[in-house]
C-alpha cells in the first residue's frame, strides 16, 4: 500500500506539532519535505527564494562589510555587486573626492582579491599596463614581466588622461580576459574587474574614451555627494582611523566565481526578455539618438537584471529590475545628435523617455 503524504503548515516558527507515523499516512510539516515532495501548491514565497539563498546572503555580507567604509551609498554598492556577479566592468564618473578610489579599494579588500592601481597619465605607455618581455642575462633568455593589469581588481584612475593608444591596451583584457604581448597570450586571473574613474569637469589634457571602449563597460555610475547626515557620519567614522585599514575579507574569490555561474540560472520569462530587447531597439530608432544601444548592451541589460534579482533573493527577473538598471547600462553607450545636445538634453533624459514609452509586460490572468 502506498503512503499518502499530508502536509500540515506550521502556524508559528516555534510551534512544533506531533509527528505521527503509520503505514497509511505520514503527517509532516513543510520543513520536513524534501525537494521532490514539494509541489506548486506547497511552495510559499519563502520557499521560492530558497533556490538562490547563497547569492543573496553573500551579497548581504559584502554590502554590510563595504558599508563599514562607504557611507550612505547603498545603491552604488549594489551596482558594484551586480557588475561583479555579471563579470562586468564599472566606469565611475564623478568629481574628485567623492570616494571613487576608496570604493574600489574597499571592494577588493572585502573580496580578498589582488588589487592594483594605475594612475593614467599622458605619458603612460601600453607596456606600462600590460607588461613587457625583458632579457634575463642570468638565464640567457627572455622573460615576461607582468604589468599591473594582472590583478583581480584593477583601478584605472583617471583613465581619460591617457592617450588612445594606452586606453586601447585595455580592450582585449576587458572583453576576453587575456593580454597579448608580442606573440604570446597570457590569461588574466579570475575574477577580473576593471574599475575606471574619470573626472567630468576637467577637460584640459584629457582624451575622451571612444565608443568601442565605452561599450565594454557594463555600467557607468556616479557616486554623488553625501547628504548632510551622511557627511556628518563620515567625519565620525574617519575621526580616529581609516576603517579601510582594518577591513577584513568576507568572501573568497572562489565564491565569486561560483556565484557568477549561479546567476546565469536565474529565470527570465519570455515577456521580460522581449521587454529588454524592445528597450534597446527603441534607442536605435529614437529621433534624438545618432547611435543606439548595441547588441552587447542588450546582453548587458539582460544579465544585470538576473544579478539584481539574485541579490534581492529572487530566482526570476521582474520588469522593475530592467527599468532600474537601464539608465546605468545604456546611457554611456548612446551617441546623441548635435541638435539634441544644443537643446541641452542628456542621454539619461532620453533613456528615461524610452523606458517610459516601451510597454511594460504585465502578468496574464
Classified as helix, coil or strand, 320 is: helix
Cell, residue 303:
544579465
- Percent of the chain at pLDDT exceeding 70: 84
- Helix (H), strand (E), coil (C) string for 6-57: EECCCCCCCCCCCCCECCCEEEECHHHCCCCCCCHHHCCHHHHHHHCHHHHH
Note whether 247 and 107 are within 8 A (CB). Answer: no
pLDDT band per the 50, 70, 90 thresholds, residue 286: confident
Q: For 208-222, how does the pLDDT look when each residue is reduced to its tens digit (9 = 90+)?
A: 888 888 889 999 998
Instruction: State the pLDDT at residue 83.
Output: 93
DSSP 267: B
Residues whose CB falls within 8 Å of the CB of residue 206, separated by 6 or more in sequence, listed in order: 160, 161, 198, 199
> What pTM was computed for the model?
0.78
Classified as helix, coil or strand, 170 is: helix
Instruction: State the pLDDT at residue 324.
Output: 93
In terms of average pLDDT, the best of 47-51, 109-113, 197-201, 325-329 is 325-329
Superfamily for the 54-261 domain: P-loop containing nucleotide triphosphate hydrolases (3.40.50.300)
pLDDT band per the 50, 70, 90 thresholds, residue 364: low
Whole-number CA gyration radius for the chain: 25
Fold of 266-357: Helicase, Ruva Protein; domain 3 (1.10.8)
Q: Which residues pair with 194 in a beta bridge?
A: 154
Residue boundaries of the structural domains of the chain: 4-43, 54-261, 266-357
Mean pLDDT of 339-348: 83
Note whether 117 and 247 are within 8 A (CB). Answer: no
Amino acid at each position: 500500500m502506498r503512503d499518502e503524504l499530508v502536509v500540515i503548515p506550521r502556524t508559528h516558527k516555534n510551534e512544533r506539532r506531533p509527528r505521527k507515523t503509520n503505514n497509511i499516512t505520514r503527517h509532516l510539516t513543510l520543513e520536513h519535505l524534501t525537494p521532490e515532495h514539494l509541489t506548486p501548491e506547497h511552495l510559499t514565497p519563502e520557499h521560492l527564494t530558497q533556490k538562490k539563498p547563497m547569492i543573496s546572503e553573500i551579497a548581504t555580507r559584502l554590502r554590510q562589510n563595504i558599508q563599514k567604509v562607504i557611507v550612505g551609498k547603498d545603491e552604488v554598492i549594489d551596482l558594484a555587486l551586480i557588475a561583479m556577479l555579471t563579470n562586468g566592468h564599472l566606469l565611475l564618473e564623478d568629481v574628485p573626492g567623492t570616494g571613487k578610489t576608496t570604493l574600489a579599494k574597499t571592494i577588493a579588500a572585502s573580496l580578498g582579491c589582488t588589487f592594483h592601481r594605475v594612475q593614467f597619465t599622458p605619458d603612460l605607455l601600453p607596456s606600462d599596463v600590460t607588461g613587457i618581455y625583458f632579457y634575463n642575462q642570468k638565464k640567457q633568455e627572455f622573460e615576461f614581466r607582468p604589468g599591473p593589469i594582472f590583478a583581480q581588481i584593477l583601478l584605472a584612475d583617471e583613465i581619460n588622461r591617457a592617450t588612445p593608444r594606452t586606453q586601447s591596451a585595455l580592450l582585449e583584457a576587458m572583453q576576453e580576459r587575456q593580454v597579448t604581448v608580442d606573440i604570446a597570450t597570457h590569461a588574466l586571473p579570475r575574477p577580473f574587474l576593471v574599475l575606471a574613474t574619470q573626472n567630468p569637469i576637467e577637460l584640459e589634457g584629457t582624451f575622451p574614451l571612444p565608443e568601442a571602449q565605452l561599450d565594454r563597460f557594463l555600467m557607468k555610475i556616479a557616486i554623488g555627494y553625501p547628504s548632510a547626515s551622511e557627511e556628518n557620519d563620515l567625519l565620525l567614522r574617519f575621526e580616529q582611523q581609516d576603517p579601510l585599514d582594518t577591513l577584513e575579507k568576507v568572501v573568497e574569490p572562489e565564491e565569486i566565481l561560483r556565484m557568477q555561474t549561479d546567476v546565469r540560472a536565474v529565470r527570465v520569462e519570455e515577456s521580460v526578455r522581449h521587454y529588454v530587447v524592445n528597450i534597446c531597439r527603441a534607442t536605435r530608432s529614437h529621433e534624438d539618438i545618432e547611435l543606439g544601444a548595441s547588441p552587447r548592451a542588450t546582453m548587458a541589460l539582460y544579465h544585470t537584471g538576473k544579478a539584481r534579482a539574485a541579490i534581492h533573493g529572487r530566482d526570476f527577473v521582474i520588469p522593475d529590475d530592467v527599468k532600474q538598471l537601464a539608465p546605468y547600462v545604456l546611457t554611456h553607450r548612446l551617441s546623441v545628435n548635435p541638435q539634441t545636445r544644443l537643446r541641452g538634453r542628456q542621454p539619461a533624459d532620453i533613456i528615461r523617455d524610452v523606458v517610459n514609452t516601451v510597454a511594460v509586460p504585465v502578468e496574464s490572468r
